Amino acid sequence: DIQMTQSPSSLSASVGDRVTITCRASQGISNYLAWYQQKPGKVPKLLIYTASTLQSGVPSRFSGSGSGTDFTLTISSLQPEDVATYYCQKYNSVPLTFGGGTKVEIK
C-alpha cells in the first residue's frame, strides 16, 4: 500500500507568515491528492483537490502544488482563523490513505 507522509507534524508561525506543508507519497499518485483543514472539534473541510484546485469558497491565500509523489500546501499569509490541523489524502485508488496531519498554531 502507498504511504502518505506529511511534514512537519506541527509548526508555529506568526500572523502574515508564509506557511508550507509537505506531503510525500511512497509511490506516484498522479495528481489525486486532496488537502483538508480540521479546526478543533469540527468536521474536516476540503480545501484543495487534484493537488492544486481550490475548493469553492476557500480563501485564495491557500494553494497547492505537486504531482507524482511530492505535494505542497501553502498558506501565503497566515491568519488567526487558519489555526487547525491539515491533512493530505491520496484518492487515486484504495486504500484512500490520509497523511498523519500537520498542526498549525500562531506564534
- 55 vs 67, which CB is nearer to other proteins? 55
Residues within the interface to other proteins (CB under 8 A)? 1, 32, 34, 36, 38, 43-46, 49-50, 55, 85, 87, 89, 91-101
Q: Residue 70, Cα to own-chain centre: how many angstroms?
A: 12
- Quick one: 18 or 39, whose CB is closer to other proteins? 39
- Shortest separation between residue 44's beta carbon and other proteins, angstroms: 6
Instruction: Specify the length of the chain in residues.
Output: 107
- Identify which of residues 17 and 32 has a Cβ nearer to other proteins in the complex: 32
The least CB distance from residue 14 to other proteins, in Å, is 26
Neighbours of 99 (CB within 10 A): 25
- Cβ at position 96, least distance to other proteins in Å: 4
Which residues touch 30 (CB under 8 Å, ≥6 apart)?
67, 68, 92
